[in-house]
Amino acid sequence: MEDPLVERVLVVTAHPDDVDFGAAGTIAQWTDSGIHVTYLIITDGDAGGFDPDVPRAEIPVIRRAEQRSAGECVGVYDVRFLGYRDGELAVSHDLRRDISRVIRQVRPQRMLIQSPERNWDRIQASHPDHLAAGEAAIQAVYPDARNPFAHITLGREEELEAWTVPEVWVMAHPNPTHFVDVTSQFDRKLAAIKSHASQLPDPDAMEGWMRTRLLEMAQRGGLPEGRLAEAFFIAHTA
């Protein structure tokens, strides 16, 4: 059952489409229950795509539009971008500050981030940008966003008060502790994924691949046969 105390969720990912592959079904449940969800996408995914005829300079605009469309599929209309370079992401003081800024603006009771721990069973989930995004996000949760004396300009010049995030959900974690039945949200999750047309050379193959993946997660979580699940590690961070 959803926590009635959670009114706002902030999702932080490295690239457009990361959240849809990892958690779109769960997010659809959250928005359906009245939770306001904000996406913070660190890069524009400018190193992505598969069509060499598409000018590279156009990729950021395409991918931003795709992520906004994908968000609408699951009830998310607040989508923000930081504009860092795809493929070059590293944990830095500036990145921690930029994530902390949005934490203080949104004031979420829950965050959803990528795993800073490498998953050797699913190496594709451990893209270096994903690991950096996860590590920077958790450092922004603790200690940065809650410390009024960290990133001092956020408080002094931008008048953003410190904020403590009580709970963090981690996707693509090697040892998930929580499994969400998203069987009823599968069609919306698939629509969100298919919104990223610039990244899908064979979109018709996506349904079978994703269904197999979610069936495996449901089985791992002990759900009844035939159910579909997304998996998370949950950390209490207050």
The alpha carbon dihedral of 34, 196, 48, 171 has a sign of positive
Instruction: Give phi and psi for 111, each to the nearest 5.
Output: -120, 150
Return the SS3 of 42: strand
Helix axes 59-73, 18-32, angle to 10 degrees: 30
For the chain, first and last CA: distance in Å?
Answer: 21
CATH architecture under which domain 8-236 falls: 3-Layer(aba) Sandwich (3.40)
In terms of C-beta density within 10 A (0-12 exposed, 13-18 middle, 19 or more buried), how is residue 26 classed?
Answer: buried
Q: In 10 A of CB 116, how many CB atoms? A: 19
Per residue in 19-69, pLDDT (tens digit) is: 999 999 999 999 999 999 999 999 999 899 888 888 888 999 999 999 999
Q: Over the stretch 83-125, which tens digit does the pLDDT of each residue have?
A: 999 999 999 999 999 999 999 999 999 999 999 999 898 888 8
pLDDT at site 53: 83
Find, among 145, 158, 46, the residue nearest to 104 by Cα. 145
What is the per-residue pLDDT across 173-194, written as a single tens digit (0 to 9) for each?
999 999 999 999 999 999 999 9
pLDDT the model gives residue 3 = 73
